[in-house]
Amino acid sequence: MKISILTDHTLIINKLETSIKFHNLNFIFGFLPKGSYLVGGYLRDIILGRETAKVDVDIVVPMNAIEIGKRIADNIGSKFIILDEKREVIRIILNHIYIDIANQVSSTIEGDLRSRDYSINSIAFLFDRKCLFDPLNGLKDLEIALLRTYSENNLLNDPLRMLRCFRFVSELNFKIDLNLITFIKKNKGKLYLVAKERINCEIQKIAHGANALDAVLMIQKLNIFGTANLSEDSFFLDLEKMNYAELKQEEKEKFLPSFFIAQILDVVSLEKLKFSKDEIAKIKLLRKWHFLLEKKSIAQLTESDRFTLHKELEMFLPSFIFYLPQNLRLDWLHRWRDKDDKLFHPSNLLNGDMIKKNLKIQDGPILGELLQYLSKELAFKRLNNFDEAIYKAKLWIEQNAPKCD
């Protein structure tokens, strides 16, 4: 979908000034010295007509960014963080507003803008003159939805910028300049010079974008992360053949990011890039059940296998849907959406406390095994009510509880 953007400078400035007043930024900007300017995502999003929950403001000052930032933070009572003491880059956090202030590194504003990552981020609003400054035709590139860099060295100075272009594909549905694609293919290995936490954060943003599929397809095609077995490992699917319309919108937003991340990174890469233990465990389970179902069909699974599958995948089953045979996907989704389906949502008629109270059983392994047994009986419709559960629990305890001579 093509974004309708503002191209008239007067309209952009009016919109910007309205936003500044709305977010009460006038007072903060009043502390800025002559020669300061606004640049980056906040201005870009206003031009694109995008509204975001978090406001990220980037300001460049001629010098003394730390001193200026500290003075602003003291006056407004906000959080103050030094991001880079040597280069004098600071952050002020006030509610949902993040303000980064940095020193100008070149002798001219144009020189500074030519050192930024992409032309669409090289548009400045000059506070003194109340005008836009666009030496690299960033407005035109925004209009045609094109990602282009002025200098490839700008990307090598911070290789994360190469990965960031896929975020713009995901979030803004932009195209990538062909020369830029060639450059990324040659230099993708330099990504591993970047802090792992920064790469992790960027991947998360890519996976959660409205056009994440397009970005992930490009990352796969270019094998950005150099996953050795990407073309051989059957876990990596042909994403263009998937019918994502089978998922509801809220399911897409919640479950597709994990699915996409699993399609561009293997478990070793996830661990290296410091993904959370929960995320890694989830993807390990997706892989486990995919490979098991390659060896035997759903119909060949034992009751215990089937119960374990639903127990392990219950909280994120839609992330697994695309590994199922096409004819099963909708049925599994319908059943998973039904919270009363006890196979797809394994649970107990009785909780541990009720069992202990009614059957005089203590905490321990026996109680855990009994709960598992009752859950499975319920899942396969061999339990219908409370009394049946108590009766079956008593029989199970007689057969399985350790006997004392």
Distances (CA, A) of 252 to 3, 16, 212, 216, 225: 22, 33, 11, 15, 24
For residues 211-216, give the mean pLDDT: 97
Is the pLDDT at 214 greater than 70? The verdict is: yes
Query: What's 374-401 look like in SS3?
Result: HHHHHHCCCCCCHHHHHHHHHHHHHHHC
Whose tokens are 């199970």? That residue is 396
Residue ending a domain, among 113, 144, 175, is: 144
Domain of 159, CATH number, reads 1.10.110.30
Q: Which of 225-229, 261-265, 326-330 has the lowest mean pLDDT?
A: 225-229
Is the pLDDT at 4 greater than 70? The verdict is: no
User: What is the pLDDT, as a whole number, of residue 221?
Assistant: 92
Is the pLDDT at 2 greater than 50? The verdict is: no
Are 132 and 194 members of one domain? no
Q: pLDDT by residue (tens digit) across 125-149?
A: 999 999 999 999 999 999 999 999 9
User: What is the pLDDT, as a whole number, of residue 1?
Assistant: 41
User: What is the pLDDT, as a whole number, of residue 324?
Assistant: 95
Distances (CA, A) of 248 to 97, 209, 254, 279, 315: 32, 16, 10, 22, 16
- This prediction's pTM: 0.87
User: What is the pLDDT, as a whole number, of residue 158?
Assistant: 94
User: What is the pLDDT, as a whole number, of residue 136?
Assistant: 96
User: What is the pLDDT, as a whole number, of residue 229?
Assistant: 60
Q: pLDDT by residue (tens digit) across 265-303?
A: 999 999 999 999 999 999 999 999 999 999 999 999 999
For residues 165-184, give the mean pLDDT: 96
The answer as to whether 62 is a domain residue is: yes
For residues 306-328, give the mean pLDDT: 95
Are 126 and 222 members of one domain? no
Tally Cβ neighbours within 10 Å of residue 125: 23
Are 131 and 195 members of one domain? no
Q: Would you place residue 232 in the very low, low, confident or very high pLDDT band (cuts 50, 70, 90)? A: low
User: What is the pLDDT, as a whole number, of residue 355?
Assistant: 80
Are 13 and 123 members of one domain? yes
User: What is the pLDDT, as a whole number, of residue 228?
Assistant: 62
Q: pLDDT by residue (tens digit) across 62-83?
A: 999 999 999 999 999 999 999 9
For residues 315-329, give the mean pLDDT: 95
Are 205 and 98 members of one domain? no
Domains contained in the chain, number = 3
Q: Would you place residue 398 in the very low, low, confident or very high pLDDT band (cuts 50, 70, 90)? A: confident
Q: Which of 16-20, 119-123, 171-175, 383-387 has the lowest mean pLDDT?
A: 383-387
Higher-pLDDT residue of 255 and 28 is 255
Q: Would you place residue 11 in the very low, low, confident or very high pLDDT band (cuts 50, 70, 90)? A: very high
For 346, which DSSP code? Answer: -
Are 43 and 129 members of one domain? yes
Domain interval for residue 174 = 151-226
Are 24 and 135 members of one domain? yes
Are 123 and 218 members of one domain? no
User: What is the pLDDT, as a whole number, of residue 277?
Assistant: 96
What is the average pLDDT value for the chain, to the nearest integer? 91
User: What is the pLDDT, as a whole number, of residue 51?
Assistant: 81
Find, among 182, 131, 193, the residue nearest to 159 by Cα.
193
User: What is the pLDDT, as a whole number, of residue 107?
Assistant: 93
Is the pLDDT at 405 greater than 80? The verdict is: no
The string over 173-193, giving b where at least 16 C-beta atoms fall within 10 Å of a residue's C-beta and e elsewhere, is: bbbbbeebbebbeeebeebee
Is the pLDDT at 237 greater than 60? The verdict is: yes
The answer as to whether 235 is a domain residue is: no
| DSSP helix/strand/coil, 287 | helix
Q: Are 89 and 101 in contact (CB under 8 A)?
A: yes
Give the angle 59-210-288 at the CA atoms, nearest 5°: 115
Are 220 and 127 members of one domain? no
Please give the share of the chain, as a percent, with pLDDT higher than 70.
Answer: 96
Residue ending a domain, among 114, 144, 174, is: 144
Are 216 and 90 members of one domain? no
User: What is the pLDDT, as a whole number, of residue 208?
Assistant: 96
**C-alpha span between 8 and 364 (Å, rounded):** 71
Please give the share of the chain, as a percent, with pLDDT higher than 90.
Answer: 78
User: What is the pLDDT, as a whole number, of residue 230?
Assistant: 57
The answer as to whether 284 is a domain residue is: no
For residues 341-366, give the mean pLDDT: 83
Residue ending a domain, among 208, 226, 244, is: 226
User: What is the pLDDT, as a whole number, of residue 3?
Assistant: 47
User: What is the pLDDT, as a whole number, of residue 39?
Assistant: 96
Are 56 and 93 members of one domain? yes
The answer as to whether 248 is a domain residue is: no
The answer as to whether 121 is a domain residue is: yes
Find, among 44, 58, 14, 206, the residue nearest to 136 by Cα.
44
Find, among 233, 149, 218, the residue nearest to 185 by Cα.
218
